[in-house]
Amino acid sequence: MIMEWLLNIVYYVVPFLVLLGVLVFVHEFGHFIVAKKLGVSVSAFSIGFGKELWSKTDKQGTVWKLSLIPLGGYCQFLGDADESSTTEVDLSKYTEEEQKHLFATQKPIKKLAIAIAGPLFNYLFAFVVFFGLFFFFGSYDIPPVVSEVIENSPAQHAGIQENDRILEVNGAVITEWGDISREVSLATENVDLLIERNGEKIKLTLPLAEMDYAFDETEKPIKRRMIGIKAEAKRFNISKDTFDFTTAVKKSYFEVYNVSVMTLRGVGQIISGERSGDDVGGIIRIAEMSGDISKSRGFLDFLSFMALLSINLGLINLFPIPLLDGGHVIIYLLEIVSRRELNAKIKEYLFKLGLGFVLCLMVFATWNDIKHLITRWFE
């Protein structure tokens, strides 16, 4: 029992902390490096919140630190009373020279650049990871051809057969197996397929069904909504030789683009009510997924998952919600257009509203994660 717990710490806790630490560092370093380039002083750079565990002050006066609660981080600028850069600054506390380097005294265009830099670095990190994987290791070429139809699945009931080639899923053109997985994951009730069988094109509509899924045979299955088809491992082919520099750049760009579009479509479906709010996951779900990947798959899969999460972190932070980077961006754009600073009381109200929304969303996501874990453990 003790050994099992130790292994779970290795497989779930450690990868999660590494994953989150890297992504938070990348995001906050984006804010940091652009702020420094624009002449804004940074008083603190922290991975984590709460009690300080370790710190070191550099020659420019920035305190680099690790904090107790590893669920985020912040880049605190000179003059900020808190980590969110939302409070008013008492300029009388600073010399005339110091005031030039306060975030609060900068023009809106500079503030805008600093706010965007965090999500931008998340996107840049994901692009670099994908490029490295494609250029140095290649990618799996998985043709969208059915090798197995799961018994009693929607696919079997609809008459899908081995060697059927999937041409379209819900109107989206399919070029590889990953396209099928992506489109099916975004489906809400039914899946429209266009398949090719012996030169003939056939249209089918299948309902989604909750089915057992696991990365391999050694792992306890979890429930996923699927149609019940599999690809053949023997057909997987690493196409490394064709991945020159230009090809790797193009494929990395489209990978980042496709993940962004998939995320936006999923969020849109939840907002419109097409998709259940149960699909909203949080920190616990991320820890679970990172642990599953580290336990059952390889380091390259873990890197790919990290890149995917980096895109999601960057994109979600650009949502126009007060307190998130996207909320700051909207405010700075309004100030640029109006050529005057937004009223301090209005900004304070907006940020409190944003904080309340984010906290409610975190509680909701955590509740979903707990329900998901209970289902996984006891069913």
Active-site residue set = 28
Do residues 275 and 266 lie in contact, with contact meaning Cβ atoms separated by under 8 Å? yes
221 φ/ψ angles, rounded to the nearest 5 degrees: -65, 150
Three-state secondary structure call for residue 379: coil
Distance between first and last Cα of the chain: 21
Q: For residue 125, give every residue at least 6 positions away whose Cβ sits within 8 Å of its Cβ, in sequence order, or none.
A: 23, 26, 307, 310
Q: For residue 4, give every residue at least 6 positions away whose Cβ sits within 8 Å of its Cβ, in sequence order, or none.
A: none
Do residues 204 and 223 lie in contact, with contact meaning Cβ atoms separated by under 8 Å? no
- Determine the Cα–Cα distance for residues 293 and 68; give it in Å rounded to an integer: 25
Q: For residue 214, give every residue at least 6 positions away whose Cβ sits within 8 Å of its Cβ, in sequence order, or none.
A: 220, 221, 222, 296
From residue 363, alpha-carbon distances to 107, 255, 266, 291, 320 in Å are 36, 31, 20, 22, 20
- Determine the Cα–Cα distance for residues 222 and 374; give it in Å rounded to an integer: 11
Report residue 44 as tokens.
């603190």
Q: Of 72, 71, 105, which Cα lies nearest the Cα of 88?
A: 105
Q: What is the DSSP string of 228-241?
A: -EE--GGG-EE--T
- Determine the Cα–Cα distance for residues 144 and 168; give it in Å rounded to an integer: 10
3-class secondary structure for 24-77?
A: HHHHHHHHHHHHHHCCCCEEEEEEEEEEEEEEEECCCCCEEEEEEEEEEEEEEE
From residue 299, alpha-carbon distances to 130, 294, 321 in Å are 13, 7, 34
